[in-house]
Structure 1
Amino acid sequence: MHQRRCRAVAFSEYGTADVLRMVDHAVPEPGPGQVRIAVRAAGVNPIDWKIRSGAMADVMPLRLPAVPGVDVAGVVEHLGPGVTALAVGDEVFGKAVSGSYAELAVANLDALAAKPAAMSWEVAAALPVASTTAFHAFAPLGLSEGETILIDGAAGGVGSVAAQIARHRGLTVIGTASPHNHDYLRSLGVIPVAYGAGLAAGVRTVAAHGVDAAVDAAGQGSLRALLELTGNADRVISLADPSAESLGARFVYGEPDDMSGILTEVGALVAAGAITVLVARTYPLADAAAAHRDSQSGHVRGKLVLAPI
């Protein structure tokens, strides 16, 4: 009996985006507590190309060939043993464990949420990593309504969602971005400041006494400025620079608790219009390499998505 196959993007060696290839891939089988999803859209995140390049090989070793991608949105196609909380045909979004750049992907039940009917597949696929990362970053900061938070890299996929979640929680948000993205940040209720050299001085023009907390979502060497502006290493988080810990700040990685609950909450906020997700560009699955190159350019406003699949 022949094993079922599906189309997927995979790489057999670490390297540039050129190592990505369309392949005929074995259909992944869901285990206990898992479901298989017919993928409608897959989000592209910087972690995808960092893994593909080999930069993460020491901390996230892969068995090659591997299918990239975590963010996924689609329709439940097959239930793993013991799964009763979902049914075949349910529309879901969340994080895949088998690689999401594929026609079919497997996900853990506790990393999925029901997709609101009003939410497009593309937006659903753009949300999981960005929203769960934002919640994971905010958890140790002890944020209180009325405080001011600085988000370095606020126009990017994670930064823009984090900024809106902070605004929804009653915080004043200052966000860094290149000047051509400042109007976009203002549209999100964020006070824009130019990133890069002179960051601390630029922030003090809009917050003379500094800020209460800061999140580095860019990984462009801003940590010393963020520490200066907060005056408290306990209230500085980096999502992109592991050297944060050598400076006394926190480097946040891994998965937050209650991913399903976070996705459900953020999905409801998006469906209600309280949070806007900008999908900067969509690509066919076969153009995953182009999506990686664009993501690596560092100049993307919002999220990149592979869709429809």
Structure 2
Amino acid sequence: MWHSVQFSRYGGPEVLDMVEMTTPVPGSGEVVVEVMAAGLNPGESSIREGHVDKEWPARFPAGQGSDFAGFIARIGAGVTGWKTGDAVLGHTVRGAQANFVTVPAGNVIAKPERLAWEIAGSLYVAAATAWQAVQGANPGPGRTVLVHAAHGGVGVIAGQLAKRRGSRVIGTASLDSFDYLRQIGVIPVEYGPGFEERLRRIAPEGIDAELNRLGDNVLMNVDSTDTTVLQKIAGLVADRQIAIPVAAIYEFARVRDAYRELEAGHAHGKIVLCMMPVRYAHQKVHGIDLRASEATKDAPNRPPVPPNHEALPPVIGHRHRHPVASPAADRSHAE
């Protein structure tokens, strides 16, 4: 039986419901993707809670979710370059958190084989937002860039992009994120009382560019038709030129719990829903806390472990999916 996440009134995670769905039929120029993983973003909570209803009013019942990765299940008329079973990732507006999502064919790209499903399914909004922020900051050799919330889904990408441009990068974070930031070449500084003094000690000559508010309502600034940035970031992550931390993996049915963790504001990295989750070492799956921070805290006596992104092989789901042949197939799943 297939489901999609919907809400029929503004509110917290408790308003999210799992609603039964059938496999959609794509229109001209569209593809249907069977979703394997779908990421969470702070802007989705703002929309659901009604904080941005003037800019992005919800039409109830409203779907939920932006980023996704999965397999093409059906292809609409006029679509070329794709076939059923192709592994893809992409972005939609209010609908990624579902067993199936329908999008224009131009809104997806091929998933690199070495890119883990969890990361592929949570990449677009964070990647596009980080890319835009870094382009505006214009980092380069000899420049010092300050990235706020550098341990978050957007900040961790922005910091690494700025590093790749040759800048010295300082990132605000809590103490338990310091070691991870050092691993990716970002100089950590603790936020809170005394922040300005600590920052002056680290950067006595000042800051050349500051990337702030990277997590606030980022969905309003993302172009869902631009996949060029997504291709660049996905390739860098697949080639291990950029590391993306995954804070927690939740099975699809636990979407409310996933958003509760996101909205608590303590997650160090992306939170992801997975339709066919697999347990990993150093990962929080099904609410069992084996999280990556345990492997990356400052602990001189702890034996070295691989970085979190290296412990996430792309093994969720089957390597090849059988195409959804007909509505009759849908009924057989539901029976």
Indicate the percent of aligned positions where both proteins have the same amino acid.
Answer: 39
- State the match for 1:240 in structure 2: 216
* Distance in 1 separating the partners of 2:219 and 2:17: 31
* Distance in 2 separating the partners of 1:36 and 1:184: 37
Offset at 1:305?
Answer: 0.3
Offset at 1:27?
Answer: 4.2
2:265 alignment partner, one of 287, 291, 298:
298
Assess if the C-alpha contact under 8 Å between 2:42 and 2:262 holds in 1. Answer: yes
Alignment pair present for 1:160 and 2:156:
yes
For residues 197-216 of structure 1, what are the alpha-carbon distances to aligned partners after superposition, in whole Å with 9 as ceiling and x for unaligned? Answer: 33332211111121111111
Alignment length (residue pairs): 276
1:182–1:32 distance in 2 versus 1, CA, 3 Å: same
* Superposition pairs of residues 143-182 of structure 1, within 5 angstroms: 143-182=139-178
Offset at 1:94?
Answer: 1.4
* Superposition pairs of residues 202-221 of structure 1, within 5 angstroms: 202-217=198-213
* Superposition pairs of residues 1-309 of structure 1, within 5 angstroms: 6-25=2-21, 27-97=23-93, 99-217=95-213, 240=216, 253-256=220-223, 259-309=226-276
* Distance in 1 separating the partners of 2:146 and 2:265: 19
Offset at 1:103?
Answer: 0.2
Task: Give the partner amino acid of 2:209.
Answer: A
For residues 36-67 of structure 1, what are the alpha-carbon distances to aligned partners after superposition, in whole Å with 9 as ceiling and x for unaligned? Answer: 10000000111111111111211101211112
* Distance in 2 separating the partners of 1:146 and 1:29: 53
For residues 80-105 of structure 1, what are the alpha-carbon distances to aligned partners after superposition, in whole Å with 9 as ceiling and x for unaligned? Answer: 33221322221111102351110001
SS in 2 for 1:264: helix
SS in 1 for 2:106: strand
* Distance in 2 separating the partners of 1:299 and 1:85: 41
* Distance in 1 separating the partners of 2:140 and 2:132: 16
For residues 172-202 of structure 1, what are the alpha-carbon distances to aligned partners after superposition, in whole Å with 9 as ceiling and x for unaligned? Answer: 1100001111111111110000113333322
1:217–1:34 distance in 2 versus 1, CA, 3 Å: farther
For residues 135-180 of structure 1, what are the alpha-carbon distances to aligned partners after superposition, in whole Å with 9 as ceiling and x for unaligned? Answer: 1212233333332111000001111111112112222110000111
* Segment of structure 1 superposing worse, 140-149 or 113-122: 140-149
Assess if the C-alpha contact under 8 Å between 2:140 and 2:162 holds in 1. Answer: no
Offset at 1:274?
Answer: 0.7
SS in 1 for 2:176: helix
1:150–1:110 distance in 2 versus 1, CA, 3 Å: farther
SS in 1 for 2:121: helix
SS in 2 for 1:110: helix
* Distance in 1 separating the partners of 2:102 and 2:195: 42
**What runs of 5+ residues in structure 2 fail to find an aligned partner?**
277-335
* Distance in 1 separating the partners of 2:219 and 2:57: 19
1:292–1:155 distance in 2 versus 1, CA, 3 Å: same
Could you say which structure has the higher strand fraction? Answer: 1
* Distance in 2 separating the partners of 1:83 and 1:97: 20
Offset at 1:26?
Answer: 5.2
Offset at 1:73?
Answer: 0.3
Task: Give the partner amino acid of 2:249.
Answer: T
* Distance in 2 separating the partners of 1:34 and 1:213: 41
Assess if the C-alpha contact under 8 Å between 1:36 and 1:79 holds in 2. Answer: yes
* Distance in 1 separating the partners of 2:145 and 2:164: 13
**What runs of 5+ residues in structure 1 fail to find an aligned partner?**
219-238, 242-250
* Distance in 2 separating the partners of 1:96 and 1:297: 25
Give the CA RMSD over aligned residues: 2.1
Assess if the C-alpha contact under 8 Å between 1:112 and 1:263 holds in 2. Answer: no
Relative to the length of structure 1, the TM-score reads 0.83
SS in 1 for 2:4: strand
Offset at 1:253?
Answer: 4.3
* Distance in 1 separating the partners of 2:136 and 2:221: 14
